[in-house]
Amino acid sequence: MTRPLRSALTRSTLKWTAMGVSAFALLAVAGCEQTTRQTEAGSSYEDQASQTEATVKAEPVETAEPPASTTQSRAAEMLRGGDDATPQQAKEFLEAAAKDIEAMNEYASRAAWVNANFITEDTAWLLTKASTEYAEMQTRLANGAKKFNDIKLPADMERKMGTLKRGSNFPAPETEGSAARLASIMTKLDGLYGKGRFAVDVEDKRIIEILDTNEEGDDDFGKLGEEAPKGTIHLGQATKIMAESRDPELLQTIWEGWRTISPPMAKDYDTMVGIVNEGSEELGFKDTGALWRSGYDMPADDFTKEADRLWGQVKPLYNQLHCYVRFELNSEYGDEVVPLDKPIRADLLGNMWAQQWGNVYPMVEPKGFNAKSVDITALLIENEYDQEKMVRTGEEFFTSMGFEELPDTFWKRSLITKPADRDVQCHASAWDIDDKEDIRIKMCTTITGEDFQTVHHELGHNIYQRAYQDQPVFYKTGANDGFHEAIGDMIALSITPEYLVKIGLMDEEDIPSAEGDIPILLRQGMDKVAFLPFSLVVDQWRWQVFSGEISPEQYNEGWWELRTKYQGIEAPADRPADAFDPGAKYHIPGNTPYMRYFLAHILQFQFHKAACDMSGFEGPLHRCSVYGNKDVGERFDAMMKMGASKPWPDALEAFTGQRTMDGTALLEYFAPLQVWLEEQNEGRECGWDMPEE
């Protein structure tokens, strides 16, 4: 998340910011936290702002510098709120709190970085210690901030108090030992996922064909020795099988196998929910879901409606895509495997979680288009790219827009390739270790078009982190948590054929004609459009878990009800009674809020359209690249430098001229595809809730 445990698709780690320290691993976006929330300030406080500010002195609080690795709190002495609280006391409390947070951030970030890169019992212990201290600090500061609830403060101070009260996505209650217990559970859950492996039949030729890394003639050719120690495989290998196999039986076996790692998480997850709900209630929130939703500069219930509104805008496009893909899969697998009046089996869509469908694109590729296609993976291999060159190419995109080069420490300290000698958290993430220049990425990069885009995405987090480095610690995060993700993804939208020509990856004569736009847009849509409902489901499920609407006994049933409702997919077979399938998705045991990804998939197109408009581009939106446009870079930088210092509508307006999130830019981008899909689906029964005859 980004700041509080800032991770960004990023995992910065334990870092503060408006939304929370999801513990050590948040993997979600560098600003991944909630971040700004509209305070009751605004008009009600503006009347007194000038009078109140006149009573606030400018001198900083004089305190001794505590060791960064302790939770000794200078702010502890400032908790003098209540009936006699004054604006001056609030100012002193905020200044002391900022020093506490800054002192803790780097220590906690380094502990999280080491654990993510060396997953052992010892590093887990270090991370638990750091996260316990961090959680205790957050709890103390959040409860301290509550003491100033009843006094009028300038809007900026009120905003900072709000970020303290929302300091953690997973707050521990004040009860002694709660923070330590919570940190231990969260670290355990994260570790269970990171070390997850499951047994396979090492004699299965279908598996050997995909996973065997030996060359013909090697002693181990045709065997799974090093690839499957003790007859088990890890997620990366399972993901490869899911992407490449077209055997429904094998896909079901691998899909079910990965989900054997998560049942041991369920009891601890339930315990964690109880702890963080208690902590959220102490802070004045109905439950933890309400706390999460309160950080979008609007009341929590209004944000629920806002998410539904945005989904309603884009749902018709998703429904057309679902209908088309199901029909094509039916042509491949037949009615028994893919009935045309039922949800699609979740294991048939080329992804372990059916969140993106691009890996099965060859099965649904449109016929009759003679235009050339673009295979970025093949281009990377043909041009002898290695992992570092992929990252340096991503860096050059940003420098072409006027941003500074990445610091030397980035190249020395980032993890760009998967080590062969140890377990690491491979999920791609961007880190800001010291709130200054020590920015890094961590990903097990492969030479693929997907990772080429991911590199651009992660670097977007780093560029954003560096842009707001001069903001107060309370505001070092995205304008809302969707902004961080959207910025990286907006850049990836500029990876057009024209861009690939400019960087020398392909020749100009190989640029597809307009006739080839439909296949390209379909391939993109199978990732970006298919992802939209999944990105809603993850937090819809957690909101209902936190509220008690879904009980522990219903964890799995509730998960699949939502996935069928929104995505139109279902498990390949009845699930075991002890199944905990949500835990097979990193962001659940990694405790990373997911709504940011849904918002990012809306905002990235909104940003992209605004950037293309200001660049003067006049063609179809999906053909636009802002590579090399320094005017766009300058305005983009101005928005990013705001961090979370203003409500997100202000930041959005600074770049796009609009104050509301809007899905129409996404619809414009995919407009040719939607028209084509509607033509293909004419006469078909679309949907998955059709009554039985």
- Catalytic residue list: 427-428, 457-458, 461, 485, 587, 597
Strand partners, 522: none
Token pair 């999801």: residue: 22
- Angle of helix 121-146 relative to helix 87-117, nearest 10 degrees, comes to 170
Phi, psi of 344 (to 5 degrees): -80, 140
The 10 Å Cβ neighbour count of residue 230 is 7
Give the dihedral sign, CA 238/241/243/246: negative
CA distance linking residue 652 with residue 650, whole number of Å: 5
Strand partners, 198: 233
Q: Quick one: which H or E segment has residue 269?
A: helix 266-282
Sheet strands (E) in 381-460: 429-432, 439-442
Token pair 């392909």: residue: 506
DSSP single-letter state for residue 512: P
- Angle of helix 517-547 relative to helix 300-333, nearest 10 degrees, comes to 130
The 10 Å Cβ neighbour count of residue 244 is 12
DSSP single-letter state for residue 508: G
Q: Quick one: which H or E segment has residue 121?
A: helix 121-146
Strand partners, 415: 442
Query: What tokens does 622 get?
Result: 């999906």
The 10 Å Cβ neighbour count of residue 368 is 6
Which are the contacts of 94, defined by CB distance < 8 A and separation ≥ 6? 157, 160, 161, 164, 474
CA distance linking residue 236 with residue 650, whole number of Å: 41
Give the dihedral sign, CA 362/363/365/368: positive
Hey, is 617 helix, strand or coil? coil
- Give 439-494 as a 3 state SS string: EEEECCCCCCHHHHHHHHHHHHHHHHHHHCCCCCHHHCCCCEHHHHHHHHHHHHHC
CA distance linking residue 89 with residue 75, whole number of Å: 11
**Chain centre to alpha carbon of residue 340:** 33
The 10 Å Cβ neighbour count of residue 616 is 8
Hey, is 297 helix, strand or coil? coil
CA distance linking residue 241 with residue 250, whole number of Å: 9
If we measure between CA atoms, which residue out of 272, 296, 295 comes closest to residue 283? 295
**Exposed e or buried b per residue across 381-403, where buried means at least 16 C-beta atoms within 10 angstroms of its C-beta:** eeeebebeebbebbbebbebbeb
CA distance linking residue 652 with residue 666, whole number of Å: 16
Q: Is 582 exposed, middle or buried (0-12, 13-18, 19+ CB in 10 A)?
A: buried
